[in-house]
């Protein structure tokens, strides 16, 4: 007898529905259990898990011939998420569950040998695919139900064990659908425990202003200064002034973290913007994604949040140069022989670096011991095309002891965040008719021409500066975007001369030897 159940594969961060076709041959001479359809080792091993789970659930498993086809057969199958669908297909093909409830249902879960259903990664992507295909019911592990319910519009059945699922399908002991709580993002308004408040950082007002502008329009920033000047502390305080995630952004980020299996603490929803700070020994694939089975890299895990590269020049040149495409296109494209995958990568890049190998070039207190050649070679590890994609270049000098010991407290993160959120509200209204453009840094050429209106004197200042500083076309556009953000923070509809002047001062300065 032939039975069909439905499962789902995750390719990149997207779900692809898979038909699990099980053919049972009661007249087979020798017992067999074959799985076809490009299964990997984890999928092939499901034969033993399914067999043991069915027997330990006090259900029948006739030792005859089984052929399981995972369709489409040319799609590689990975992970243990097919266990539950294969078990249901085996039970349906042996007349132990009815066929009708399987038609519009999706089965997701790994089986334990005792028949209990366990968590799998990528549940949100699978449920999205099921909703788009018109499925009505999702059967999965109890711990995966809260994440699946975030999609909405589907009946989510949390299944503790295989035996209870069989009783539910026969209507003998129905399992109550999971009732999702209303989506609440109020927790995103408060600072996370590991985020420093700007009020606790003494001095560095110029750097704080630059970070406010970076957060106001999602602009990339580079901080240069001697060791101990507070670059890392400032970068780790940046998430505290970023605006709260919108509902769509929260679901988008949660979906990525579901695929990467990084949702922690039993919390199904990502409420805070991501902050990723990989070590400089990270590989190219670890940074942008890839591998035999392509997985999201750090740039995708930082989507809608911050990617912080501390000691940026210590990263390998290849790893840094692959950041060019995601910084420009806001996506990462990974091409392999089997196909091409695209991951989202719209993040705020924050770099921190010393000005030279010893770290004290330009420091007024401690003399630099590096030669001009060493300084030039050190700073040239960041290529010109990469620096051209960074909007703000900020010097972070040594903090005076008087400021460290003083009682004066700086402006709090909450106050700065209020200005940034007001600016983001203006941007949301401005780009309402432009899908894909969320902040000023996302603007293309057409949006720049439409929304970056310069006052006459500001236009003259910009024209003179572009010619004198020999800015590239990309740098010119980035100055315009930065000026637009500064004007938004000031509540101005038109870009004035002070806005352009402030944006120009954040351009990179030549190395002074």
Q: Residues 102, 4: contact at Cβ < 8 Å?
A: yes
Q: Which of 58-62, 164-168, 191-195, 392-396 is the least confident region? A: 191-195
pLDDT over threshold 70, residue 188: no
Tokens 């711990």, residue? 143
Q: What is the spatial distance between Cα 311 and Cα 502, in angstroms, rounded to a whole number? A: 26
Closest CA to 239 of 298, 192, 294, 309: 192
Mean local confidence (pLDDT), 172-191: 76
The residues spanned by each domain of the chain are 2-169, 209-433
- pLDDT value at 403 more than 80: no
pLDDT above 70 covers a percentage of the chain that reads 96
User: Whose CA is closest to 441, among 333, 350, 343, 330?
Assistant: 330
pLDDT at residue 152, rounded to an integer: 87
The count of other CB atoms within 10 Å of the CB of residue 505 is 13
Q: Which CATH architecture has domain 2-169?
A: 2-Layer Sandwich (3.30)
Residue range 309-339, pLDDT digits in tens: 999 999 999 999 999 999 999 999 988 777 7
Name the DSSP class of 455. P
Least confident window among 35-49, 189-203, 337-351, 470-484: 189-203
pLDDT score of 265:
62
What is the model's pTM? 0.92
**Does the pLDDT of residue 510 top 70, yes or no?**
no
Percent of the chain clearing pLDDT 90 (strictly above): 80
Question: Rounded to whole angstroms, how far apart are CA atoms 83 and 2?
Answer: 18
CA-CA distance, 158 to 16, in Å (whole number)? 21
Per-residue pLDDT reduced to its tens digit, 446-458: 999 999 999 999 9
At 136 the three-state DSSP class reads coil
Provide the 8-state DSSP code for 161. Answer: B
pLDDT computed for residue 264 by the predictor:
75
Whether the CB-CB separation of 260 and 291 falls below 8 Å is answered with: no
Question: Within 13 Å and on the Cβ side, how many CA atoms surround 362?
Answer: 19
pLDDT at 56 over 60: yes
Please measure the distance between the N-terminal and C-terminal CA atoms of the chain and give it in whole angstroms.
Answer: 81
- Which CATH number is 209-433 given? 3.40.50.300
Tokens 């985020």, located at residue? 195
């Amino acid at each position: 007898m032939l039975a069909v159940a439905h499962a789902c594969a995750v390719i990149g961060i997207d779900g692809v529905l898979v038909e699990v076709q099980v053919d049972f041959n009661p007249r087979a001479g020798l017992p067999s259990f074959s799985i076809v359809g490009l299964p990997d080792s984890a999928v092939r091993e499901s034969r033993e898990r399914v067999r043991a789970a069915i027997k330990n659930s006090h259900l029948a498993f006739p030792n005859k011939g089984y052929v399981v086809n995972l369709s489409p057969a040319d799609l590689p199958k990975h992970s243990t998420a097919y266990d539950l669908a294969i078990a249901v297909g085996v039970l349906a093909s042996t007349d132990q569950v009815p066929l009708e409830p399987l038609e519009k249902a999706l089965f997701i879960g790994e089986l334990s040998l005792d028949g209990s259903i366990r968590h799998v990664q990528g549940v949100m992507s699978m449920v999205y695919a099921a909703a788009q295909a018109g499925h009505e019911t999702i059967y999965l592990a109890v711990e995966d139900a809260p994440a699946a319910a975030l999609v909405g519009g589907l009946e989510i059945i949390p299944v503790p064990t295989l035996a209870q699922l069989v009783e539910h399908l026969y209507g003998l002991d129905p399992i109550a659908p999971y009732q999702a709580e209303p989506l609440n993002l109020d927790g995103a308004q408060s600072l996370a425990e590991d985020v420093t408040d700007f009020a606790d950082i003494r001095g560095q007002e110029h750097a704080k202003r630059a970070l406010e502008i970076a957060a106001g329009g999602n602009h990339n920033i580079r901080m240069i200064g001697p060791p101990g000047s507070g670059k890392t502390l400032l970068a780790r305080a940046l998430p505290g002034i970023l605006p709260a995630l919108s509902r769509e952004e929260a679901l988008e980020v949660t979906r990525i973290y579901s695929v990467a299996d990084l949702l922690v603490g039993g919390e199904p929803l990502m409420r805070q913007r991501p902050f990723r700070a990989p070590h400089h020994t990270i590989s190219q694939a670890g940074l942008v994604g890839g591998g035999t089975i392509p997985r999201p890299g750090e740039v995708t895990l930082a989507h809608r949040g911050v990617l912080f590269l501390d000691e940026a020049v210590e990263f390998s040149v290849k790893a840094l140069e692959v950041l060019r495409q995601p910084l420009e296109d806001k996506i990462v494209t990974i091409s392999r022989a089997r196909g091409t995958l695209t991951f989202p990568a719209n993040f705020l890049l924050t770099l921190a670096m010393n000005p030279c190998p010893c770290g004290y070039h330009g420091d007024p207190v401690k003399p630099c011991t590096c030669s001009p050649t060493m300084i030039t070679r050190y700073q040239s590890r960041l290529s010109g095309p990469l620096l051209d994609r960074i909007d703000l270049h900020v010097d972070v000098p040594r903090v005076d002891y008087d400021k460290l010991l003083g009682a004066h407290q700086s402006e709090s993160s909450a106050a700065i965040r209020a200005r940034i959120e007001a600016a983001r509200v203006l941007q949301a209204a401005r780009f309402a008719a432009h899908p894909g453009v969320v902040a000023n840094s996302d603007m293309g050429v057409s949006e720049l021409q439409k929304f970056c209106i310069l006052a006459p004197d500001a236009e003259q200042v910009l024209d003179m500066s572009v010619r004198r500083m020999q800015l590239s076309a990309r740098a010119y556009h980035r100055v315009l975007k930065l000026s637009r953000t500064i004007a938004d923070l000031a509540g101005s509809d038109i870009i004035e001369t002070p806005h352009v002047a402030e944006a120009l001062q954040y351009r990179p300065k030549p190395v002074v030897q």
